[in-house]
């Protein structure tokens, strides 16, 4: 508190003394650390594994039919475009694919706020002091390396839009299955999971601050562009829940990959709905 003036304290701009907050402010950063670490470990393991990402692999385990599911970790299907990708570059194509959603999520305004607080304690919660407060004079924000890369978020948006399009392409494929070498229409439990993943990813992307700026930015008078004004208002409504969509879409993309892996590995047969 010594680095703050009496005026700062009076106007409420200084952090509270340690222990002044009696609520469980530490729960949110703890959950953020746990969730992000768990997802990162799982995603890296799946990328290094480089297998069990295609529902058709279930045929190799004696299944009479197999759904046309593709793990979202392998969409866009680089492995189909370049069959020798893994052999040529000695790396799973998932690493190439994951760069795009990872760059979008890691530079997301909401995600930055979450991991700045949870991992850097900068600050750990509203009104709480920062452990490195004495070094604040050297703070450069996002104008120096490596945090300068955060400014690439608006460009990462264009890449994630392509990923969203492929999610719906593979959702369409998930409405079919292969039986006796013939493609048949069929809805399974995995189709529902893939649909949930595609919808929640869309809500996360299209509630993004950069997308909101792309829709309504560059206009001095929104009322002069009624169509863009209506779209901007709709996006602004979604933007209020951007953080919720971030977490839900993170959970569903992991769940979709895990489900496809279990089907591809022959752990169980995909329950048929239609």
Place of tokens 């750990």: 124
3-state secondary structure of 6: helix
The pLDDT value given to residue 33: 96
The per-residue pLDDT for 4 is: 44
Number of H helices, E strands in the chain: 11, 3
pLDDT at 79: 87
DSSP letter (8 states) at residue 177: E
Instruction: Determine the Cα angle at 62 with ends 56 and 67, to 5°.
Output: 25
Mark the ranges of the chain whose per-residue pLDDT is less than 70.
1-20, 132-140
pLDDT of 136 reads 60
pLDDT digits (tens, 9 = 90+) for 218-269: 888 888 889 999 999 999 999 999 999 999 999 999 999 999 999 999 999 9
Q: Are 91 and 100 in contact (CB under 8 A)?
A: no
Separation between Cα atoms, residue 205 and residue 235, nearest integer Å: 10
Look up the pTM and report it.
0.87
Calpha distance 262→38 (Å, rounded): 19
Q: Write down the pLDDT at residue 15.
A: 59
Burial of 21 (0-12, 13-18, 19+ CB in 10 A): middle
């Amino acid at each position: 508190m010594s680095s703050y003036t009496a005026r700062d304290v009076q106007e409420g701009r200084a952090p509270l003394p340690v222990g002044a907050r009696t609520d469980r402010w530490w729960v949110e950063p703890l959950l953020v650390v746990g969730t992000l670490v768990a997802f990162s470990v799982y995603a890296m393991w799946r990328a290094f594994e480089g297998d069990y990402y295609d529902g058709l692999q279930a045929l190799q385990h004696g299944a009479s039919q197999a759904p046309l599911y593709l793990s979202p970790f392998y969409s866009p299907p680089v492995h189909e475009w370049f069959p020798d990708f893994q052999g040529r570059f000695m790396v799973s194509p998932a690493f190439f694919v994951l760069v795009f959603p990872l760059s979008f999520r890691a530079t997301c305004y909401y995600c930055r706020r979450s991991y700045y607080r949870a991992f850097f304690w900068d600050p750990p919660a509203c009104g709480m002091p920062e452990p490195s407060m004495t070094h604040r004079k050297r703070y450069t924000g996002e104008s120096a390396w490596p945090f300068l890369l955060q400014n690439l978020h608006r460009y990462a948006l264009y890449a994630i839009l392509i990923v969203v399009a492929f999610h719906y392409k593979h959702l369409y494929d998930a409405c079919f299955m292969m039986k006796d070498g013939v493609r048949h229409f069929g809805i399974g439990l995995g189709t529902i999971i893939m649909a949930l993943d595609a919808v929640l990813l869309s809500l996360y992307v299209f509630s993004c601050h950069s997308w909101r700026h792309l829709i309504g930015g560059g206009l001095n008078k929104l009322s002069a562009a009624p169509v863009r004004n209506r779209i901007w208002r709709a996006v602004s409504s979604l933007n209020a829940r951007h953080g919720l969509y971030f977490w839900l879409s993170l959970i569903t993309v992991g769940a979709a990959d895990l489900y496809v892996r279990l089907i591809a590995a022959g752990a169980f047969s995909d329950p048929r709905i239609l």
